[in-house]
Amino acid sequence: MAPKVLVSDKLSETAVQIFRDRGIDVDFQPDLGKDKDKLLEVIGQYDGLAIRSATKVTDKILAAADNLKVVGRAGIGTDNVDKDAASKKGVIVMNTPFGNTITTAEHAIAMMFAVARQIPEASASTHAGKWEKSKFMGVELTNKTLGVIGAGNIGSIVCDRARGLRMKVIAYDPFLSEEKAQKMQVEKVELEDLLKRADFITLHVPLTDATRNILSREALEKTKKGVRIINCARGGLVDEEALADLLKSGHVAGAAFDVFSVEPATENPLFGLPNVVCTPHLGAATTEAQENVALQVAEQMSNYLLTGAVENALNMPSVTAEEAKVMGPWVKLAGHLGSFIGQLTDEPIKAINILYDGTVAEMNLEALNCAAIAGIMKRVNPDVNMVSAPVIAKDKGIKISTTNQDKSGAFDGYIKMTVVTTKRERSIAGTVFSDGKPRFIQIKGINIDAEIGAHMLYTTNEDVPGIIGLLGNTMGKNGVNIANFTLGRNEVGGEAIALLYVDNAIPQDVLKTLEGTGMFRQVAPLEFDVA
């Protein structure tokens, strides 16, 4: 059955056609996002939801979204999506961070020109029939110092354009390396230094707890007298009341804002002040950008629903289509390893340690971790998936650690998982053979070679004669067909294990018969999703 996607905001017909061309059943209702009750009523039937900013994906909407797997936002900002609720529900949230980078960067440069030369006020004055040539004395950008707060996708483009204008560019970004700064031909500085030196300051960071009010009253008071502030990133990065006061005092010479702490902004401390340029969140408002993000979100959502590729997700590691093809069997293996341990573990888990060896150590380990954790969690929560599992593990205080190493044994690559509980440690390892099928290769330090089936039986016992016959006879007498039988032991007469791959689920009375023999320390039926 084809995946079904709802487009609840305005998206171009070309983008909608991408879904259709990929074989996805798409329902295009561009005004539905404004009707919360109707959206709540229908959301349960869709696998994907494509939105812009009008649709509000609340925890209530997500609670009713029984089949929803992905929300795709055509644009960067996802303030209209409850990402915590989506993660707990197991819904991937994607955005399109690159479709409007050029447009937003260009708008910031345009706003910088506008405030430097007081273009909006001069235009309004001239339209009014005045000729106030001496009133609007501006400043050049050439040789001025531009302070860029945030040198990511958009900020780096602004840096490039500013250098083309012969500006001196300094950048504050905790994630900007010295090597990258040199390549960009900008000077990496601390925020305090930027505030003191910059003639113009432009912001290009997301709104987070770390960046909220980054230009506070205290920070603004440290700026160079005559500075001009440009914000085309997010409202809430600048203390607007403090900025208004400093504009009135003359310490700040001008400001250009495209975003505001409260939007839609019908009133604001900056409104009506001289040499303050304001636009209604137009950073991404070009024909090219709107088309780009629409096409991008359609492609990303289609790729995920059809191939499992994850691009530009905010609550899940990205996995390219190429990675998804190569990693598919390893993702399944990681899930099976986790499932094995999860089905055998009743006590609280304190830590999960995962070792990646050889070829698998070079893969996308974040995604593999998510699969492994999901496998463990499924026993207590069947609805858990790769998105929600890490969130649940974190909520439970489970510590996750990962180790990767070069090839160290007979296999080109393998995964070993160790779970620490309040009572014991339990470990299992597995690999993927050339046929693409996952195998268990070690349990409790005992080497085995076990094919993984939908229905399995795991037993532990003392290494004594008769166990194989006992298991075979019991299964045969009760009509349970064995597809594969694997044995292992740590030493002669020591601890031994058996893994049986059977055609159907083993009846409870058969399990009780085995337990009643007194020959087994543990008799555990297992189920795996091998589809």
267-281: string of b/e by CB count within 10 Å (b at 16+)? ebbbeebebbbbbeb
Q: Is the pLDDT of residue 149 over 90?
A: yes
382 with 460, same domain?
no
Mean pLDDT in residue range 131-136: 91
User: Which CATH number does the domain housing residue 457 bear?
Assistant: 3.30.70.260
Split at pLDDT 50, 70, 90, the class of 359 is very high
HSE at residue 301, side-chain half, CA atoms within 13 A, is: 40
Compute the radius of gyration of the chain from its Cα atoms: 30
User: Which CATH number does the domain housing residue 36 bear?
Assistant: 3.40.50.720
Q: Rounded to an integer, what distance in angstroms lies between the CA atom of residue 372 and that of residue 151?
A: 35
Sheet holding 522-527, edge to edge: 482-489, 495-502, 455-462, 522-527
DSSP letters spanning 445-457: TEEEEEE--SEEE
- Contact (Cβ atoms closer than 8 angstroms) between residue 420 and residue 350: yes
51 with 163, same domain?
no
Last residue of a domain, one of 378, 413, 443: 443
Catalytic positions are 234, 263, 281
Number of residues in the chain: 531
The pLDDT tens digits for 394-409 are 888 899 999 999 988 8
Last residue of a domain, one of 411, 443, 475: 443
Last residue of a domain, one of 422, 443, 464: 443
Q: Rounded to an integer, what distance in angstroms lies between the CA atom of residue 445 and that of residue 249?
A: 73
Q: Please provide the average confidence, as pLDDT, over all residues in the chain.
A: 92
The pLDDT tens digits for 287-336 are 888 888 999 999 999 999 998 888 888 888 888 777 888 888 999 999 99
324 with 408, same domain?
yes
Domains in the chain, number = 4
φ, ψ dihedrals at 227, nearest 5° = -65, 155
Q: Is the pLDDT of residue 383 over 80?
A: no
Q: Is the pLDDT of residue 167 over 80?
A: yes
Domain range for 165 is 101-278
pTM: 0.66
The pLDDT tens digits for 232-287 are 999 999 999 999 999 999 999 999 999 999 998 999 999 999 999 999 999 888 88
State residue 165's pLDDT score: 97
The pLDDT tens digits for 34-51 are 899 999 999 999 999 999
